[in-house]
């Protein structure tokens, strides 16, 4: 069995992994997470037993790094310089941590949060969400739906 060169993987799926991370952990943590995820992927790559669905494999590694970053962030106080600044007149307010809707998704329970990001940002099928989260397809579907349902309820309240 022969694996594609890692650079080819990065060229094909690096953008998706990066976008997923920017949404899941915010633009500033995403840069570190991206490096960590790629290094972890490179480390494991030669031992990979098949080359099926390398995108889901990369996202599985990336979502673990996103969970680590999220937990680390929850443990540390928010530094003052990261506090959102008031938008200057005429400029759209771009929060430091990205779009407000991502901030709300980030409040969901871990499984729902990752399932929603993988589905809505990385555009994975439920089968691939299941692969990335190491769960059944039913569980992947349920997590996406329950997460979205919860967000809708919050929007209405």
Partner 1 sequence: MNDGLDRDLAEAAGTLPTGPSLDALRRLAKRAKQEGVLDVAYAQVDSPLGPLTVAATDRGLVRVAYPDHTLDSVLEVLSREISPRVLEAPERLDPIRRELDEYFEGHLRRFATKIDWSLTADGFFRKVLRTTARIGYGKVLTYGEVAAKAGSPKAVRATGNGLGSNPMPVVVPCHRVVRTGGALGGYTGGIERKEFLLALERG
Q: Phi, psi at residue 79, to the nearest 5°?
A: -65, 150
28 binds partner 1 (CB under 8 A): no
64-123 residues in contact with partner 1 (CB under 8 A) are 98-102, 120-121
The secondary structure of 56-104 as a DSSP string is HHHHHHHHHHHHHHHHHHHHSPPPGGGSPPPPPTTS----TT--HHHHH
Residues in contact with partner 1, counted by CB under 8 A, come to a total of 35
Among 12, 15, 72, 85, binds partner 1 (CB under 8 A): 15
Sole window of 39-47, 68-76, 78-86, 129-137 interacting with partner 1 (rule: CB under 8 A): 39-47
Alpha helices in 76-125 (DSSP H): 100-105, 110-120
Smaller CB distance to partner 1: residue 135 or 151? 151
Member of 74, 80, 91, 155 binding partner 1 (CB under 8 A): 155
């Amino acid at each position: 069995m022969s694996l594609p060169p890692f650079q080819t993987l990065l060229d094909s799926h690096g953008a998706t992994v990066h976008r997923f991370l920017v949404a899941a952990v915010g633009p500033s943590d995403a840069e570190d997470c991206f490096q960590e995820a790629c290094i972890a992927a490179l480390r494991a790559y030669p031992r990979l037993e098949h080359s099926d669905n390398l995108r889901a494999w990369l996202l599985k590694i990336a979502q673990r790094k996103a969970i680590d970053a999220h937990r680390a962030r929850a443990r540390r106080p928010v530094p003052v310089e990261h506090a959102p600044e008031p938008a200057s007149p005429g400029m759209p307010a771009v929060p430091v941590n990205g779009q407000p809707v991502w901030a709300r998704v980030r409040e969901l329970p871990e499984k729902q949060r990752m399932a929603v990001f993988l589905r809505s940002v990385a555009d994975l099928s439920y089968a691939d969400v299941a692969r990335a989260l190491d769960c059944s397809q039913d569980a992947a579907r349920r997590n996406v739906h329950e997460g979205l349902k919860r967000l809708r309820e919050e929007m209405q309240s």
